[in-house]
Copies of this chain bind each other. A is one copy, B any other.
Amino acid sequence: MKKIINQPDDFVDEVIDALLIAHPGWIKAATADRRALVRADAPKAGHVGIVTGGGSGHMPGFLGYVGEGLCSGVAVGNVFSSPSAEQIFEATKAVNGGAGVLYVYGNYGGDVFNFDLAADLAEPEGIDIKTVLLTDDVASAPAERASERRGVAGMAFVFKCTGAAAERGDSLDEVARICAKANDHCRTMGVGLSPTILPAAGKPTFTLPDGEMEIGIGIHGEPGTHRGKLESADAIADRLMGQILGDLQAPKGARLAVLINGLGATPLEELYLLFRRAAKVIGDHGLSIARSYVGEYVTSLEMAGASITVMLLDDELETLLAAPARSPLYRDWLLV
């Protein structure tokens, strides 16, 4: 094990403690256990609140997307475990500015269960709740069952567009419409090169021999669609882009946003190699890149690997993607 940690059971609470010390002007705790964190300026009267959440171990995933023009609050579970309904409910109340609250989170059983329970708690309090599930992982179910797919790095684009809509004062119906559209326009597929070790368990969540890769792996190590000998960066990008573009069916001439996401242990240099080939494939398909993002956006602790997300843009989504956003952990660069 190669982890810089203290007691494994304290891992999540200590990370939250550190975030609150490092970034006091950005987030505040909405509960005594500090597992519900919200924007320092929450609630924003008259604005839709956006609550996300999920297991820990994905930073900057979830926690890093609470900020201006992004989500309003987050409920923080243990490593790879859903937050509780109570924590989600507390985040909901803390971001409720009277215009309703949107829940947007990855399509995982535990999260769905707890967010639905939280909605049941919120509605008697007069808080309008709408829910959008993130389902961008093309490897996790075929196109005809796209609603069953898991949510992965596409959340960076979805949070960005949805947060921009809420920031400008759109209604709950409108924010939810944009969120669902942004999710529908995203496709992601990943590759894993090494397993993840949970701090409390101290051993790998799955095995993957050195020199092998798993195409289509999930951000908790869920099995992918192909396991085999590690291939070149170009061959991996070709595999991922083939699936993504085949599923997305973007019309010729379309503008795309592209995100190359590192899963934790993969150097930035290698992410750029994947970007390079993805850009070539996109050009060969008669498509163009309007915005490029390369870095770590949603990780899986120290997993070696990466994912590629492609978002099909239209004027509405491109405007929202380009709107200002700011949190200590979110990078947003206007490129190309």
Contact = CB atoms under 8 A, between A and B. Distances in A.
A273 B233 contact: no
A299 B267 contact: yes
A70 to B, nearest CB: 14
A135 interface: no
A324 interface: no
A280 B12 CA distance: 18
Most B CB within 10 A of own CB, among A4, A24, A266, A328: A4
Interface residues of A, number: 62
Contacts of A306: 4
Interface string A297-331: 00101101110000000000000000000001101
A289 to B, nearest CB: 8
Nearest to A295: B329
Nearest to A212: B2
Interface stretch (A53-61, A83-91, A242-250): A53-61
Contacts of A299: 267-268
Contacts of A290: none
A6 interface: yes
A18 B265 contact: no
A268 B4 CA distance: 11
Contacts of A25: 335-336
B275 A21 contact: yes
A306 B2 CA distance: 12
A1 B271 CA distance: 16
Contacts of A60: 268
Interface of A: 1-7, 11, 14-15, 17-19, 21-26, 56-57, 59-60, 191, 193-194, 210-211, 230, 232-234, 236, 264-276, 279, 292, 294, 296, 299, 301-302, 304-306, 328-329, 331, 333, 335-336
The 6 closest A-B pairs by CB, nearest first: A265-B265, A18-B276, A18-B272, A59-B268, A4-B270, A2-B193
